[in-house]
Amino acid sequence: MLKSRLSLVFVLLGFCFAIEAASSSNVGYRRIEIQDTVIGETFPVAIWYPTSAPASVLEFGPYTMRVARNATPADGNFGLVVISHGSGGGALDHRDLAMALASGGYVVAAPMHPRDNFQDMSGVGSVSVWTGRPKQVSRVIDRVLEDKALGPHIQRERIGVVGHSSGGYTALAVAGAKPSMNALVQHCRGIPEDARFCSFGGAAAREAGQNAGDIPDVYDRRIRAIVLLAPHGALFTDEALSNLAVPVRIYGAENDDLTPVKYHAERLAKALAAKVEYVLIKGAGHFSFIAGFPDALRKSAGEAGQDPKGFDRDAMHKTLNPEIVDFFNRTLR
């Protein structure tokens, strides 16, 4: 019992130190463009990073962030985390998490995935998007490591990925779980109760994708840890998931009606077994993992701006973000 209590004390102390360290750096912000190798389009990438420059509150469309735009990176060595948004999302969807990670000593890069974002959803459900998403993560890593200002600060053995919804698929695929269009088709044929997820993107797109052939290898061995937020796992067989060798932390949403935990987050957690830390967020919905919207935008944002009755998204993020920073601190050593 004493050993357990001492362990708890050390864990809590470590958590407090992590919070203190996370507040020690200002955050720089840049935006770059990268050429996609699958779809052939350029796509924007938001980048946050530690800096010693003074920060101020700046507007980015409807959002505000306290950052130092285009500032020089702080001295030191940093990990790199890529954040992959869900279908129909954008590079700033998880800006609060990006700020927390950058404050805690990480360079954070968030691409806006071509043809699967809030401005253009023309590729949702297509093989080109399933292939392109993880390859875009690899392109982002390449580009950031090559950057003259940021690259020298990044420790190559400390690279992680966070993914929400389809971004969860992206993180799994790029980290070594082999996706399969056939697995997706079989999932949707065999689980009629998962109808809403299986209608997203259209059955025709899945069937066409199956007929067009399988998704090529998208594994990037540089990825050392991943975090999945309300992920979908329908493109992976249990065998494919068993090949994943990196630590995984999964967050499921109790009231997720787009990717129900029974068929997605919980199923992934069971298949990954010893490799996974699984957390079920009581009362949360599928979109509760996206940063909160300004009041003027919340209604027009549709489902993404709404939470199940009684659920406090902002309060949850105050716990979620430091937990994710802590996970990467423990696994990206």
Phi-psi region of 87 (alpha: psi -120 to 50; beta: other; left: phi over 0): beta
The pLDDT value given to residue 72? 98
Q: Could you tell me whether strands 26-35 and 63-69 are parallel, antiparallel, or unpaired per DSSP bridges?
A: parallel
Instruction: Report residue 186 as tokens.
Output: 């079989």
Task: Compute, in degrees rounded to 10, the torsion defined by CA atoms 327, 330, 331, 332.
Answer: 100
Alpha carbon distance 317, 294 (integer Å): 15
Alpha carbon distance 165, 171 (integer Å): 10
The closest alpha carbon to 177, from 189, 188, 161, belongs to: 161
Task: Name the burial class of residue 253, with classes exposed (0-12), middle (13-18) and buried (19+) by CB atoms within 10 angstroms of its CB.
Answer: buried
Decide: pTM greater than 0.85.
yes
| pLDDT digit string, tens, across residues 275-292 | 899 999 999 999 999 999
Alpha carbon distance 45, 60 (integer Å): 14
The pLDDT value given to residue 126? 87
The pLDDT value given to residue 84? 99
The pLDDT value given to residue 209? 54
Alpha carbon distance 98, 95 (integer Å): 5
| pLDDT digit string, tens, across residues 111-157 | 999 999 999 999 998 889 999 999 999 999 999 999 999 999 999 99
The pLDDT value given to residue 331? 98
pLDDT less than 70: residues of the chain: 1-24, 201-213
Residue ranges per domain, the chain?
A: 27-331
The three-point CA angle 110-111-113 to 5° equals 140
Alpha carbon distance 330, 264 (integer Å): 25
Helix (H) or strand (E) holding 303: none
Alpha carbon distance 130, 70 (integer Å): 32
Alpha carbon distance 160, 274 (integer Å): 19
Query: How would you list the strands of the sheet with 42-51, edge to edge?
Result: 56-60, 63-69, 26-35, 42-51, 106-111, 78-84, 154-164, 225-229, 248-253, 276-281
CATH 3.40.50.1820 holds for 27-331: yes
